[in-house]
Amino acid sequence: MAKYSAPDTHKLLAMTETLLQMSHIMTPQAQTEALQEVINFHDWRYYILAQPLISDSQYDTLFKKLQQLERENPDLSNENSPTQRVAYSISKDFPSVEHLSPMLSLDNSYNADDLYTFDTQVKKLCDRNDIEYTLEPKFDGTGISLVYENDVLLRAVTRGNGAVGEEITNNIRTLRSVPLQAHFSKYGIYRIEIRGEVLIRKDKFEAMNRQRRTNGEKEFANARNTAAGTLRLQDSAEVAKRNLEAFVYYVGYAVDANENSLLIKTLKTHSELLQMLHDLGFKVPHSPQEFQHHNSIDAVIAACEAWQIRRDDYAYETDGLVVKVNALALQEICGFTAHHPRWAIAFKFKARSAATTLLDVEFQVGRTGAITPVAKVQAVPLAGVTVSSISIHNEDFIKEKDLKIGDRVLIERSGDVIPQIVQSLADVRNGSERDIVFPKNCPACNSELFKPEKEAVWRCLNPQCPGAGNGANYPFRIQTRYGYGGFGRKTSRAFF
């Protein structure tokens, strides 16, 4: 059963219209309670189902009415009001908190043989051959745990070292995909610890970087690091602006009021567990694309291969898939190692990001006379290819990324296309790194270079330059290498 039934939906839509048009006929208390209820409903429609029923402007009208009522009637406000998701106070520190149950890592698999080995071990542990598996995305975000007590969000904690994390409750309260209240008591649950991942949709991350470019601000390197860094901001109001979302996918602890464990007594399968969380208003892997059942490891392998091909079509960054034994009783039989559960395994996609060393920079002369710097990096496998050369575009790009010869750099190959350097890892520099010196003269003909106003590219204007214009007919290209050999020397090499 969904969190809101059809009659509930109709009632709340009618209440929405009343609040938008005739809210003055209600007492302040009735209006405040009604606004809190309908805003929570519309948050669920928008952030969980992605199926809004009102416009953004209508939502803003409701929200502002509630804010005004609570300002005028402070006694009507409470910590679970939608307006309290944005905390305006500054958190000075993040106290350490012990998880109710350890947040273990997952064992990894990289091919079909690894999955067959996993399947064999599960069947041996369970002493049966009919194992049903579930398959869901392995989100490339940052892990959290959420503790609810008596139906109210009590605290949110980072993964930390798996046993102890940092409390970030104020920041998590700003995420509208995290309910501040959830009726776990319907299932007899008094206290529960839920595992999840905080991340940013790919389109929202791209929009954030477009806006930062417009504002002249440094772009974020990638969505995962941005999500992790945002959770540790001291200003929760700033966190609320970053478009973070939270998927939940596992319950590590659940007890009744007498501290009796309810995990197997209340629910029988992992899929039922996710359905419960979905019905209570949480964002879970739920669509047929996101969550699958398979009765054999061969079907799991086929699904993993299909997923890897279309991973770019998914709205969130993923670095693999998670295979889980569906029956909770069988999960308990399989148990855990000190590192990972024996009933689950991650199938890792081919890596799209890696750290390597920037060894040299070569300056190439293009057919139009444009001078393009190319980073020569220590060869590294990335998304099925070995990368050793990466275009670093122009002088402005080098300055923006603060690149130096000898840097450790993070590279990505998004969409299985051209690799890019996304950032230098400046915090691991040892002092031996060298500045990249952009040439003043053409590396092919030694003519003075020219950069047109409002352009980022330096060009050689010599029409006889062998690397440009007339040089387009030459059966070779000329490059100048600037590397550890010293920046005062310039050498040319021809490649046939």
Beta strands in 129-208 (DSSP E): 133-139, 142-149, 152-158, 164-166, 191-199
Half-sphere exposure of 344 (CA within 13 A, CB side): 24
CA distance 151 to 477: 69
By three-state DSSP, how is residue 460 classified? coil
Backbone angles phi, psi at 333, to 5 degrees: -65, -40
Q: Measured in whole angstroms, how far is the alpha carbon of residue 209 from the centre of its chain?
A: 14
What kind and span of H or E run contains 399? helix 395-401
- Per DSSP, the residues of 51-77 read --SS-HHHHHHHHHHHHHHHHH-GGG-
404 is known as an active-site residue: no
Q: Is the alpha carbon torsion for 293, 298, 299, 304 positive or negative?
A: positive
Of 170, 174, 165, 161, the residue nearest 145 (C-alpha)? 165
CA distance 249 to 286: 10
Give the pairing of strands 142-149 and 191-199.
antiparallel
Beta bridge mates, 376: 360, 389
Selecting among 64, 65, 138, 324, the annotated active-site residue is: 138
Give the pairing of strands 344-348 and 108-109.
parallel
Which tokens belong to 46? 């928008």
CA distance 39 to 62: 7
Enumerate the active-site residues: 138
